[in-house]
Amino acid sequence: MSSHPKNVPITILRGVPEEETYEETFDVPYREGMSVLDAVVWIRTNVDSSIAFRYSCVNANACKECMVAVDGKTEYACTARLSSDGNTVGPLTNKVLIRDLVTDIVPPKENLRTILAERGEG
Partner 1 sequence: MIHLETHVLVVGAGGAGMYAAIAAARNGADVILADKSMIGRGGATIMAQMTTAAALGEEEPDSWEKHLDDTLDAGRGLCNEELSAILCEEAIDRIREMDDWKVGWARKDGKITGVMAPGHSVPRCVYVDFLNTGPAVAKCLRTQVARADSALRISGVAINDVVVDDGVAIGAVGWNLEDETPVTIAANAVVLAAGGLTRLYARNSASINMNGDAYAMALRAGAELMDMEFPQFFPIGHLAPRLVGMDPIMWDPFRYKLGGRLFNADGEEFLHRYGGEDADKYTTTRDIISYGITKENEAGRATDNGGVYLSFRHLSEKVLRDAFGPVIDKLANNGIDLMERDVEVSPIAHYHMGGIRVNGSMETCVPGLYAAGEAVGGANGANRLSGNAIPEAFVFGERAGRFAAEYARGRNRSWVADAAVGHVDQLNAMIGRQTDANGEKAALGGMWAELQRLMWEKVGVLRTGDKLTSALTRIRDMRTELESVAPADDNEFNLTLQDWYDLRSALLTAESVTLAAINRTESRGAHQREDFEQTDPGQTYNQRLRLDDDGSIVSDYLSVAGGAQ
- Examine residue 102 and tell whether it contacts partner 1 (CB under 8 A): yes
Pick the binder of partner 1 from 2, 3, 4, 49 (CB under 8 A): 49
Q: d(Cα 35, Cα 20) in Å, to the nearest integer?
A: 28
- Report the 10 Å Cβ neighbour count for 40: 24
Q: By CB under 8 A, is residue 63 in contact with partner 1?
A: yes
Rule CB under 8 A: say whether 32 interacts with partner 1: yes
Cα–Cα distance measured from residue 76 to residue 111, given in angstroms and rounded to the nearest whole number: 22
Residue 86, CA atoms < 13 Å, CB-side half-sphere = 14
Is 47 a binding residue for partner 1 by CB under 8 A? The answer is yes
Q: Tell me which residues touch partner 1 (CB under 8 A).
A: 1, 16, 31-35, 44-65, 76, 78-79, 81, 98-100, 102, 104-107, 109-113, 115-116
